[in-house]
């Protein structure tokens, strides 16, 4: 039996290497969002060389695709609310689901999501929340409200906000008691005014994208930052002084997906990679490394027990009920674009 398994494994490696030999897979991904060992293992298994470039925001990723990246990358990792935009702009192409048998491993609640109901273009990669990462040495009691950055009377510690239109606007709208996907111009403008007024606080240290904010908290240059939960969880692993909370006003829940640009030079390699990531043990290896929640149900038994119990990574059902997905608003996106531009430029 052992010999048979070895023979089969060898055949698989030879077959995979023959299929992908001499080819390259180019991934455009968020920073600190991949276990380097996974890429090395994929290269060894398939013979396909992997090259990864990094971005810090959805906006940066879309701009790169529109500037020619659509024919330079085979895999991109957008957030849920950007998926419809990528499809409508024809920047991505349909997946070949017959070549992704591990799709069966996904938790059903992460399949057929509203932004791509038939998984025609996307499969879930990781999911999570956006909250507040803070320095527990300075803030002794965990914050419970976004008022610690929006209320001038409470915002008395250095902080940074998120450099992401919809995600930062969602937090402001939620704080004001509005739907985070509202298309009411007055509500959107009110959220913009709140952000602009917050900019005038002397403790505001700027808008930062991706991991920059949590790194500043970790370094001690600011006390608080709006951040993704997985980035916060990694910071918590690095230092006991770091905490993460989901304020009572709620906010957004998100799913990042794997997609293939419209003119990807190596689509077959992309299908192989997506199927590889959806393997139960590989999926667990990924989430255990980057400390984001896996949408892969088959991976859950292999997730570190400490992470499964960490509410910063796997929030409670009560917390999840207080969160909403940001949705694409079509032509109404311009409401947010106009307000955000004014906030950033003034």
Query: What is the full per-residue pLDDT of the chain (346 aa) written as tens digits?
Result: 433 333 333 333 333 443 444 489 999 999 889 999 999 999 999 999 999 999 988 889 999 999 999 999 999 999 998 999 999 999 999 999 999 999 999 999 999 888 999 999 999 999 999 999 999 999 999 999 999 999 999 999 999 999 989 999 999 999 999 999 999 999 999 999 999 999 999 999 999 987 899 999 999 999 999 999 988 998 999 999 999 999 999 888 999 999 999 999 999 999 999 999 999 999 999 999 999 999 999 999 999 999 999 989 999 988 888 899 999 898 999 999 999 999 999 8
Closest by CA position to 297, among listed 287, 309, 310, 312: 287
**CATH at residue 273:** 3.40.190.10
Q: What is the DSSP letter of 305?
A: H
In Å, what is the CA distance from 46 to each residue of 11, 40, 52, 268, 333? 11, 10, 16, 12, 41
Within this chain, do residues 100 and 199 fall inside the same structural domain, yes or no? no
The token pair at 229 is: 């939960």
Into how many domains does the chain fold? 2
Q: Is 32 annotated as a binding residue?
A: yes
C-beta of residue 323 within 8 angstroms of C-beta of residue 130: no
User: Which H or E run includes 170?
Assistant: helix 165-175
* Owning domain of residue 338: 128-253+321-345
Within this chain, do residues 333 and 226 fall inside the same structural domain, yes or no? yes
3 within domain boundaries:
no
C-beta of residue 262 within 8 angstroms of C-beta of residue 87: no
In Å, what is the CA distance from 244 to each residue of 68, 195, 233, 320? 38, 21, 8, 15
Burial class for 124, CB neighbours closer than 10 Å (0-12, 13-18, 19+): buried
Within this chain, do residues 158 and 168 fall inside the same structural domain, yes or no? yes
340 within domain boundaries:
yes
C-beta of residue 281 within 8 angstroms of C-beta of residue 299: yes
- pTM as predicted: 0.84
Burial class for 312, CB neighbours closer than 10 Å (0-12, 13-18, 19+): buried
The token pair at 313 is: 């990574």
Dihedrals φ, ψ of 164, to 5°?
A: -150, 120
* Residue found under tokens 């192409």: 93
Within this chain, do residues 188 and 249 fall inside the same structural domain, yes or no? yes
């Amino acid at each position: 039996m052992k010999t048979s398994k070895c023979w089969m494994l060898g055949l698989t490696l030879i077959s995979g290497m023959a299929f992908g030999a001499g080819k390259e897979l180019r991934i455009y991904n968020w920073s600190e969002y991949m276990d380097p060992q996974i890429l090395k293992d994929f290269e060894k298994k398939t013979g396909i060389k992997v090259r990864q470039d990094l971005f810090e925001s959805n906006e940066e990723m879309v701009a790169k695709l529109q500037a020619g990246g659509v024919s330079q990358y085979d895999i991109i990792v957008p957030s849920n609310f950007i998926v419809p935009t990528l499809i409508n702009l024809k920047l991505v192409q349909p997946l070949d689901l017959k070549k992704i048998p591990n799709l069966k491993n996904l938790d059903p609640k992460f399949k057929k999501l509203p932004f791509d109901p038939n998984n025609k273009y996307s499969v879930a990669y990781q999911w999570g929340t956006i909250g507040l990462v803070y320095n527990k040495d300075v803030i002794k009691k965990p914050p419970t409200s976004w008022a610690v950055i929006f209320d001038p009377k409470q915002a008395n510690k250095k902080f940074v906000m998120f450099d992401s239109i919809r995600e930062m606007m969602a937090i402001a709208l939620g704080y004001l008691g509005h739907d985070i996907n509202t298309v009411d111009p007055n509500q959107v403008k009110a959220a913009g005014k709140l952000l602009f007024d917050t900019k005038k606080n002397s403790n505001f240290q700027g808008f930062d994208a991706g991991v920059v904010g949590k790194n500043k908290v970790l370094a001690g240059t600011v006390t608080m930052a709006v951040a993704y939960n997985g980035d916060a969880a990694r910071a918590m692993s690095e230092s006991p002084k770091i905490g993460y909370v989901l304020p009572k006003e709620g906010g957004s829940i998100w799913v990042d997906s794997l997609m293939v640009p419209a003119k990807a030079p190596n689509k077959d390699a992309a299908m192989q990679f997506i199927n590889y990531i959806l393997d139960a043990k590989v999926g667990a290896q990924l989430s255990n490394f980057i400390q984001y929640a896996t949408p892969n149900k088959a991976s859950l038994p292999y997730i570190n027990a400490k992470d499964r119990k960490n509410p910063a990574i796997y929030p409670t059902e009560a917390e999840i009920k207080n969160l909403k997905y940001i949705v694409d608003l079509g032509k109404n996106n311009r409401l947010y674009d106009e307000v955000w531009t004014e906030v950033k430029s003034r």
